[in-house]
A and B are shown apart, each in its own frame.
Chain A
Amino acid sequence: MVLPAIRWPLSFITVYQTLSLLVSFEYIWLITDGGPFYDTTVYALYVYKRAFESGQYAYGAALALLLVAIGIAASLLMWRFFDMKRLLQEPRIEVQ
């Protein structure tokens, strides 16, 4: 009874946090710096190391583009799945 009532904030938070966490690397970098030989390296951390520490900006940009494409695809899927189009109801006041 409670969960359907908070449907819309829940779906928004899911999509938003999925995208945020997909590209987060700050804390992983601070705590393990990629882990013992790449064990805890995430995608975004790998992009950062390639682009800023090895100086391969173009390669890093290409990797980041792929990550962004995955993120966009995931968020579009979730938009469909949560039916978030219902967030836009028809306006009822026509007076300008």
Chain B
Amino acid sequence: MATLAAPATERNEAQAHWDRLAAKSRRERAVGQGLLLAFLCVVSLPILLPYFWMFTISVSARTGGVESVVLWRACAILVPAVIVFGVLRLFVETRRGVWIGGLAIALLIALSIGDRLHLQNWTFLSSPNFVQELEGRREATVASQFPSVWTAFTNSLALATIQTVMVLTVATLAGYYLSRFKFLGRAGFLQALLVLHAFPAMTLIIPIFLLMYWTGLLDTLSGVILVIATLELPFAVFIMKGFFDAVPWDIEMSALVDGASRRQAFFHVVLPQVRVGLLAIGVFAFIKGWEEYVFVRTLLFDKQNWVMSLYIFWVSEDIMGVDYGVVAAVAVFYVLPSIVLYLLCQKYLVQMSLGGIKG
């Protein structure tokens, strides 16, 4: 009996020891993750706060009055809610618990500030004379000469998409050639691409203005599209070259051995491999075209040629002071396509690994 009892107690002790170790590691992991989450929250606060201000002001600020009750109340609820949420996530494992927590926070927010929210600042979407309607002024304002916001929106969209298509086409072909073919001046070309970025866009404004004037492209969208696409190209070519370098030679070689021509091998074999690179530079080029301000301000004058960045600039340049509610509402409208684009492409962008080279 003694020999049977001894291993049992030893086993129990060993089991208790393992249990203590497991509990300790779980505690340490929870504390470590909690600290990491807290650090990330604190560090991302300067980035998130302006967006939070923008969204809140666009639905709550009134013309002619400055009040920040909505802001402070929303802050007072959201900041503890996020902390509590983060802490709860460590303990609540089910999705239903997470949903219930989110709904509780939304209910709290709705109860405390729901009655002060309004959509007056969003009338710029439907009527061009929104400033007069908001402030009840009889005389003509600067804003009564604005074009409709939808004109600016379509101009912006056309600018960004056409520029993206141009950059994608040229950068893909250039990257493929730089990566796969040996031509005279290849090293110099690549070096020049990198060094050309030393020229700031600011210093090139005056020559570009003169060029546009002499070619007759001033005050047209095509001129601006050409300029922006040109300035975006070196970066895009470098990225695409990196992605093409990561595609192994053997794939292409076997496609050529199987009887494909060089062009067929490129389109059917190599190009699908660099799909992620195409998406990456597509998103970069689109965002750059969407947010362009310097060149559209210099090269576009006519009211029908406005872009969204110009629209928001002129909305905030009112004579009687800035109406922050309207500016915030226009800003939310302006930033929405970018957010939608990022949300759609997020999954693919995270998989991107800037394309190293294979020796």
Q: Is the CB of B200 within 8 A of A57?
A: no
Please measure, in the bound complex, the distance between the C-alpha atom of A90 and the C-alpha atom of B217, giving whole angstroms: 41
**Count of B interface residues, CB-CB < 8 Å:** 32
- Given A5-B356, A93-B249, A93-B252: A48 in contact with B182 (beta carbons within 8 A): no
Q: Is the CB of A71 within 8 A of B180?
A: no
Q: Which residues of B contact A91 (CB under 8 A)?
A: 180-182
- C-beta contact mask, B184-201 vs A, less than 8 Å → 1, else 0? 001100110011011110
CB-CB nearest in chain B for A96: B262
Q: Is B8 an interface residue (CB 8 A)?
A: no
Q: Is B311 an interface residue (CB 8 A)?
A: no
Q: Is the CB of A16 within 8 A of B235?
A: yes
CB A29 to nearest CB in B, in angstroms, measures: 11
Q: Is the CB of B249 within 8 A of A68?
A: no
Please measure, in the bound complex, the distance between the C-alpha atom of A22 and the C-alpha atom of B197, giving whole angstroms: 10
Q: Is the CB of A87 within 8 A of B357?
A: yes
Please measure, in the bound complex, the distance between the C-alpha atom of A46 and the C-alpha atom of B197, giving whole angstroms: 20
CB-CB nearest in chain A for B253: A93
Q: Is the CB of B262 within 8 A of A8?
A: no
Q: Is the CB of B356 within 8 A of A89?
A: no
Q: Is B355 an interface residue (CB 8 A)?
A: yes
Neighbour of A88 across the interface among B190, B203, B235, B354, CB < 8 A: B190
Neighbour of B186 across the interface among A64, A71, A88, CB < 8 A: A88
Please measure, in the bound complex, the distance between the C-alpha atom of A29 and the C-alpha atom of B200, giving whole angstroms: 16
- Considering the complex, which residues of chain B in the window 197-240 have a beta carbon less than 8 Å from any beta carbon of chain A? 197-200, 202-203, 206, 235, 238
Q: Is B7 an interface residue (CB 8 A)?
A: no
- Considering the complex, which residues of chain B in the window 231-273 have a beta carbon less than 8 Å from any beta carbon of chain A? 235, 238, 241-242, 245, 249, 252-253, 256, 262
Binding site for B on A (CB under 8 A): 5-9, 12, 15-16, 19-20, 22-23, 25, 44, 47-48, 57, 60-61, 64, 67-68, 71-72, 74-76, 79, 84-93, 95-96
